Amino acid sequence: MLQTIAEIDLQPVWLSLKLATFTTIFILAAAIPLAWWLHQEGNRSVKGAIGAIATLPLILPPSVLGFYLLLLLGPNGPIGQLNERFDLGSLAFTFEGLMLASFIYSFPFALQPIQNAFQTMSKGQMEAAATLRASPIDRFFTVALPLARPGLLSGATLAFAHTIGEFGVILMIGGNIPGETRVLSIAIYDHVESMEYTQAHILSAGMLIFSFLVLFILNSFHQRRGKYYL
């Protein structure tokens, strides 16, 4: 058993961690301003449509999303042809393509907790800051973001964990290229396909423990605060 553990290729693990880290950073950079904008008053129809598009991956089968992303990013797709025109190469079956696919697929898992945090935020402190002549930007960074910190933590954690466990979208858009797109979920699939059940058990058990710890820590954190953003 120990020999089997020692023989396991850890490169997919590190690649998954790298993918999840970069994806989460980009997701937070986009989800925070979008969640704040959706929280503000405005055209409900437009915001409802944009919110629906942003959260569509929650119910869309991963294979469907991956298929259309493959059509867009492939050599014959509009984005693929644009990249070829500027000699940037195709994004399909590359690490960059995985990041784009992971960004789209994990985005709603960060957006919803952050949006919920903004919606449950007390308006009194924002109004008090306004009476002190704080600009909207100042109110956002000095009042709104600190108050929404639990939701930000939930969003970041869920996006990171969800990216770690992705399979369908990853397989469609990235394939199985060692060192480039062979992440942890693909490695587990490979071991099962090769009937290497011991290696699959070890990697799957690690994923199970990781998932449990993520949810346990998040629930414990929010229980102490008495608020849930999941």
* Nearby residues of 199 by Cβ (< 8 Å), 6 or more positions away: 4, 7, 8, 191
Q: What is the pLDDT of residue 75?
A: 78
Show the tokens assigned to 92: 């399909």
What would the pLDDT profile of 145-158 be if each residue is shown by its tens digit?
888 888 899 999 99
- Per-residue pLDDT band for 183 (boundaries 50, 70, 90) equals very high
Does the pLDDT value for residue 8 go beyond 80? no
How many domains are contained in the chain? 1
Does the pLDDT value for residue 227 go beyond 60? no
Quickly count: other Cβ atoms within 10 Å of residue 24's Cβ. Answer: 25
Domain with 74 in it: 12-120+149-222
**Cα distances (Å, whole numbers) of residue 16 to 84, 156, 185, 207:** 27, 16, 9, 11
Does the pLDDT value for residue 36 go beyond 60? yes
| pLDDT, average across residues 103-129 | 85
Q: What is the pTM of this model?
A: 0.86
DSSP single-letter state for residue 74: S
Q: What is the pLDDT of residue 226?
A: 57
* Nearby residues of 110 by Cβ (< 8 Å), 6 or more positions away: 24, 27, 28, 31, 155, 156, 158, 159
What CATH number should be reported for the domain holding residue 190?
1.10.3720.10
| pLDDT, average across residues 127-143 | 76
Q: What are phi and psi of 130, to 5 degrees?
A: -65, -40
Q: What is the pLDDT of residue 3?
A: 45
In a domain, 135, yes or no: no
In a domain, 107, yes or no: yes
In a domain, 44, yes or no: yes
**SS3 state at 186:** helix
In a domain, 168, yes or no: yes
| pLDDT, average across residues 16-41 | 93
In a domain, 187, yes or no: yes
Q: What is the pLDDT of residue 214?
A: 84
In a domain, 141, yes or no: no
Ramachandran assignment for 196, one of left (phi > 0), alpha (psi -120 to 50 degrees), beta (any other)? beta
In a domain, 25, yes or no: yes
The mean-pLDDT minimum among 16-25, 30-39, 79-88 falls in 79-88
In a domain, 110, yes or no: yes
Q: What percent of the chain has pLDDT over 70?
A: 90
Cα separation, 201 vs 182, in Å, equals 18
